[in-house]
Structure 1
Amino acid sequence: MSKRSALIVVDVQPDFMPGGPLACHEGDTIVPGINRLLEARCFERVVATQDWHPAGHASFASQHSGAAPFDTASLHGVPHTLWPDHCVQGSRGAALAPALETDRIDLILRKGTHPAIDSYSAFQNNIGPDGTRTPTGLAGWLSDAGITHVYLCGLARDVCVLWSAEDSQNLGFETHVLWSLTRPVTPETDGATRTRLEALGITLIEEDPTHARSAHE
């Protein structure tokens, strides 16, 4: 990997793993591969994002009368999927996964902390009441560190990884998605996710990069 590269580990949290309220398909299976990547020290910087919602967050279906999880509602004038209550601040499900090698992480970025605004992307919050997407500060932090290349892994491939990758590319970073180290909420979305990423020129790395690295050493 480039010495000017950063790895972003997106939302590897128990609530997105089997048994959690918003479980991704096989979400727990990516942790060993991510740990191997961290142990290889391939990146100049490593960032982990963490969904960190206050109780009663506006994106929760429980806050909308008559709504069920995965229904769509208007939030600040745009369609928004309503989610099961998940990653509530201070809960066990909101912690980073216990098996994740957190000592290799340089920055933990908590997002979705505003009770009325969701935050899929690591780089920008979702649209808020004023109709804009406010920055999280990550782009500036990476730029100050001289980062030019961004690699993404984590959960969920079809939501937070996807939005983070799109924003990363649009903000001028050369962006790569480690496809084998991501998992979707549902595999049925994989075709649409690939199409959106490839349309922006984002590189999809299909194989486990630690295996590929070992094969060439």
Structure 2
Amino acid sequence: MSKFPADVALVVIDLQPDFMPGGALPCVDGDGIVPGIAALLSQRQYRTVVATQDWHPADHASYASQQPGQLPFETILLHAQPQTLWPDHCVQDTPGAVLHPAVDWTPADLILRKGTRREVDSYSAFRENHGPDGNRPPTGLAGWLHERGIREVHVCGLARDYCVLWSAQDAVKSGFRVKFLWDLTRPVTEANDGMVREALAKAKIAIV
């Protein structure tokens, strides 16, 4: 039986091997959250579960390898917006891009692949990063959740300081109450934790 009301959904962000130790873009202790998230799903604590999956083409513009003379973690302007350049990661149809095999994903009602367009990065589950027209295109997730009667979203996964944070912020902007499951997230850089807490407080997002 679900622990949470029917109008609460769990959104698991990018729980993929490339974001874990030994992967192409490891988060600090990224694999440490796998057992907890696996338990949430196996116990059917949420009636609605969404999993996102970073799913990039091999020549994605966010890869440092695609920007001559640039190195991973440097910043460039992409579509007039700051873009962190990343090591090649979560390339479509590679082992590092799969949803983590230690989790039974059967309870997931929707698996949302993001970052599929070469020229546009996509941190958030709700909106891609800025595109060539200067806008952030919606992924359609907000509408899907609203039509299912969802009013509150709980977010977890990887990475705390990028994709999970952006997803939480965009969920608020999309009209949802949001809770941030801090212990079930991990950062790319622990030094960013203070920034993340400040951003969540500013957006009135509860940390649980």
Q: TM-score range by the shorter chain?
A: over 0.9
Contact 1:70 1:82 in 2 (8 A): yes
Aligned-residue Cα RMSD (Å) equals 0.7
Of 70, 85, 107, 1:104 maps to 107
**Residue 56 in 1 paired to residue 63 in 2?**
no
Match of 2:165 among 162, 165, 176: 162
* Count of residue pairs brought into register by the alignment: 205
Q: Shift of the alpha carbon at 1:21? A: 1.1
Q: Which amino acid aligns with 2:19?
A: F
1:144 corresponding residue in structure 2: 147
Residues of 2 paired with 1:93 and 1:118: CA distance? 18
Q: In structure 1, which of residues 174, 185, 188 is the aligned counterpart of residue 177 of structure 2?
A: 174
Tell me, yes or no, if structure 1 residue 87 matches structure 2 residue 90: yes
> 2 CA distance for matches of 1:183 and 1:101?
20
Q: In structure 1, the residue corresponding to 2:156 is in which secondary structure?
A: strand
Give secondary structure in 1 for the equivalent of 2:194. helix
- Unpaired runs of at least 5, structure 2: none
Cα deviation digits, residues 110-146 of structure 1 (max 9, x gap): 0000000000000001000000001000001000100
Cα offset, 1:2, TM superposition = 2.5
Moved over 4 A (4+): none
The 8 Å contact of residues 51 and 108 in structure 2, kept in 1 or not, is answered as yes
Deviation by residue 1:74-120 (Cα, 9 ceiling, x = unmatched): 10001110000000000000000110121121110000000000000
Rounded to whole Å, the distance in 2 between the matches of 1:104 and 1:126 is 28
Counterparts of 1:4-153 in structure 2, within 5 Å, are 4-153=7-156
Q: How much has 1:40 moved relative to structure 2?
A: 2.3
Return the letter of the residue paired with 1:134: P
Partner Cα separation in structure 2 for residue 21 and residue 173 of structure 1: 33
Scaled by the length of structure 1, the TM-score of the pair is: 0.93
